[in-house]
Structure 1
Amino acid sequence: MSHTPNAASGHADASVMIRLEELTKRFPGQSRSAVESLTLDILEGEIVVLVGPSGCGKTTTMKMINRIIEPSSGRIILNGEDVTSKNPDHLRRRIGYVIQQTGLFPHMTIGENVATVPKLLGWDAKRVSARVDELLTMVNMDPAEYRGRYPKQLSGGQQQRVGVARALGADPEVMLMDEPFGAIDPITRDRLQNEFLRLQSEVRKTIVFVTHDIDEAIKMGDRIAILQEGSRIAQYDTPERILTAPANDFVKDFIGAGASLKRLNLSRVRDIELGTWDTVTTADSAETAHSTLSSSEYSAVLVLDTDGRPVRWVTADDLRRIDGRSLDQIGSAPQAVVEPRATLSDALNELVAARYAVTVVVDEQGRYLGVIDFDQLNEAIRSMRSTAVAEARSEFAAHDSSQEGPS
């Protein structure tokens, strides 16, 4: 079984956007190299996640790509061009950079922050303004509402969105992201991860993403490099391969227990058949809701507005106390809601705290599509486990056959 650093099975038609050749960094006064002879190919349009224990050199590696840290030796090839000794300022304008605390300039408005690199490149004011509005819209922030605000007027999640927009300012070939969602609460982090994956499906940038969290790596990465001390590669592979065929004990230990649950980060809500739930609309009467509930196997009905968006859970007790109100004025608001691009892990996280043991699935316009329950997630895990076992057996048989040779 091969786990070479440059393994790129299934991507023979993809081109290499970033090539690191024998990249090494030795800091003065240190007995060991922070990065030692790292060789790595990163394919165009992929998210490659560098993950490993603290001190393994993952952030140092990333910072050498845009020469914030200068390598001691080795080469950095960007889209076929050796940029190891090029002007670092010119190089950085070709690369978007997102860090954990966003790095927004506090004295500049959101619009001015996003415009930073286009202005440095000498774009005219009209073009800069149009690009700012385009990018804010792209990260789901209304330009009219946010362009003139300052960073301190935004939440942490909003600031992180602006950081991503700024990094995309001049439409760079490459983006570097250093723990971009690490300082945000778990709920906001999940939503930002999903939002970024949606954005990446549209812009298809080549991204180097640093994290210490293997679950985030599995969710975000097309390919993951698990690094040991000195940025030595323990395994460079797809998330599926790393979970089902870890290269060695270091990788197994780093993944940790619960590989089956981690596989939920590999599948998305759109990949499974959704369940159904009894629904009524806000235009329906209380009698209609009561009739629907009486013939239902569930303890509540889901009320949809006239556009098909979930607005309330309503129980028999709620209907008894309706007191002349409409269906959208009683019951409780749905809390566990995901979109099809969310991972099954996201669906499980919502499900754990869900009032009626289901996660509601809606489309991008918020319209009801169906539900997910625990049985569906269990079936998804069993299916992924069976597939992994079958693939491992097939690979083992192929390996044995190749070892036997001709008779």
Structure 2
Amino acid sequence: MVRSEVTGLRPVDPENPVRVYYKEHALGIVVLALLVDSSGTAPVEEWKSRYDKLRQEFKDYIETSRRNEEIKRQELKIDSAKKLLVVADSLSRITAVYNPISCDIVKNYSENLKKNIDVIYGQLLSASGLTPIEPAAGDKFDDRMHTAIGLEYGTAYPENSVFRVIRKGYRIGDNVVRPAEVVISKRPVEVIKIKKPGLRDRILRWISPAKLRFAEVNQRMNEFERIQKEKVERLTQDITSLKDIITQLEARNKRVDELERVQKEKVERLTQDITSLKDIITQLEARNKRVDELERVQKEEIERLRRDIATLKNMIMELEAKNDKVNEFECMQEEKIEELTQDISSLRSMVIELEEKLKEQALLQSGYHEYQENAVFKNNQE
């Protein structure tokens, strides 16, 4: 017999050795599984494992679809937020304008207007889900959150840090809608300091000017070589870090390619499974049509049988009435038979009496005949 070991499934036709089980999914998609009994060509466990694998792949497909929908919603939210950035920039520029040289009335009006604009700006950010990116001076430069549009040489802030914010950036959660435009702080270029020649150097230069000029050139060359070495070391470090980043990106691209290949294989398998399921559904629809036809024929036969049963009930009632009459007739016949039995018994007794009388008469007749014969014999002898 077929073992229905798949939970939550209902058989379509219990009489068929190859049973088709189905289950309605939450999204309206029909998941099918075929189970064949031990006398069939395919084992039950194989079909069950295939069903479990297909169900897991279907769950993965649903999860991937949900993630893709979430990404699309985030992209739509970011696109709609980008359209509001012009308004946000205008409001932030208005609040940044402040004129201290004005009368008290204008100052109060400006302050109230600034407060109202700040409230509107905050409502705009909360409604669109935007969070401003406004780094402070001296913060570390983040290439994901910031965009460098200029350099500022000085020693007030660390190197490669934010010197000034030109335009705010905005983000939604971890997604950057627009990076902040900043100016980066850089160290000033080192100036080669040359010592001024003293009195001794001047005298020696006057005595041997070529030797002093050669020593001065050597000093400059050594200083230049030192600076070049430092630059080369920094460039070497930058190149090494870039190589590491490129290696990571290549490995990541390989993983992405592998994931794409796996996803394509899964999609192909799902497409094949869906095609086979469509064929099975077509067969089931044809089979359901035949079942509907059989149900219609069965209903007609049931109606005909009901009519036959009604006629049989009427006949049974008539037969019961006749049976009652027959029972009454049998009772009368039994009474008559009893009377006849009594008559027969009386007749038997009369027959017995007659037989006895006949026997007596026969004896008398036989004695009379013997007497006559004896008399005749005597007469003959005489």
Question: Is TM (by shorter chain) over 0.5?
Answer: no
Name the larger-Rg structure.
2
Comparing both structures, which one devotes a greater share of its residues to strand? 1
Kindly indicate whether structure 1 or structure 2 has the higher relative contact order, using CA contacts under 8 Å at least 6 residues apart: 1
Structure-2-length-normalised TM-score: 0.18
Structure-1-length-normalised TM-score: 0.17
